[in-house]
Amino acid sequence: MKLLISNDDGIFSLGIRSLANTLAEAGHEVFVVCPDRERSATGHGLTLHQPIRADIVESVFHPAIKAWACSGTPSDCVKLALWALLDEKPDLVLSGINHGSNLGTDVLYSGTVSAAMEGVIEGIPGIAFSLTSFSSQDFVPAANFARSLVAKLEKQPLFPLLLLNVNVPAVNADAIAGVTITRQGVRRYIDVFEKRIDPRGKIYYWLAGELLEEVDDSSDFTEMIPTDVQANRQNYITITPLQYNLTASKGLENLQDWATELSTYAPSS
């Protein structure tokens, strides 16, 4: 398969080297376009007011891989690859392996998830891979699982407008409980900003925050499906299907009566 790989940890991160090299060694045609430095938590940010540069990178990845370091965000990288750098569209857009989890509502801020979602926006299925630890350097189990998942998708392709958000627990391979399909959980943070004073006596703020236990927003329809947060705590590799269409189906249903009432307040022609 022809694979485009990006990330938000930057071109020299161990996670993307592990993912790209493992898939290249498995016989896939791999292209890497990722930020030239860390761009974590940039979400779907795009560079609009300055030029974007992309430089070919050599001697970092497997010799069969063609790679570029981009001055922009993860979303910039994927858009640039699809519209300017690659001769034809890839079969899959992959992102990661991120150094740290992307669980629950974290996906709304994640540059890793956003990079894969840019492919979905262009009609190409995407997968975001994360290792749920900021300290572990063992990306081998996650890279091996990525190889297995891509091999499965080669035989059974994903629906084009679908993204799989994959989180691999940072434990030894023999401690992984299995693989489970999950729904997106909810995460909450408290004391989000830490107030500090710089050497010149000026106040500044550092985004920090303490993670609370998951807040469950399950409905009758989904309560039997575990959340990514719950399952990952139990050492499962979680696969959560995501989409970019954020329309709330319950809202469409519940707000229908509003339309008639509010129409009386609409400007008349």
Q: Closest Cα partner for 77 from 150, 131, 165, 9?
A: 9
Residues 211-236, mean pLDDT to the nearest whole number:
75
Taking the mean position of all CA atoms in its chain, how far away is CA 210? Answer: 22
Confidence band, pLDDT 50/70/90 cuts, at residue 213: low
Residues 6+ apart with CB under 8 A from 112: 7, 8, 9, 74, 95, 96, 98, 102, 128, 129, 130
**What pLDDT is recorded for position 217?**
55
Q: Please determine, for residue 123, whether its predicted confidence score (pLDDT) is greater than 60.
A: yes
Selected residue with higher pLDDT from 208 and 32? 32
Summarised one tens digit per residue, pLDDT across range 146-199 is 999 999 999 999 888 899 999 999 998 899 999 999 999 988 777 678 899 999
Query: Which domains does the chain carry?
Result: 2-185+220-253 (3.40.1210.10)
DSSP string, 178-198: EEEE-B-----EES-EEEEE-
**What pLDDT is recorded for position 142?**
96
Q: Closest Cα partner for 163 from 207, 205, 113, 219?
A: 113
Q: Closest Cα partner for 11 from 33, 40, 42, 41?
A: 33
**What pLDDT is recorded for position 221?**
47
pTM of the prediction? 0.90
Residue 112 and residue 210: Cα distance in Å, rounded?
A: 22
Output the average pLDDT for the chain.
91
Residues 117 and 44: beta-carbon distance below 8 Å? yes
**What pLDDT is recorded for position 264?**
76
What stretch of H or E contains 77? helix 74-80
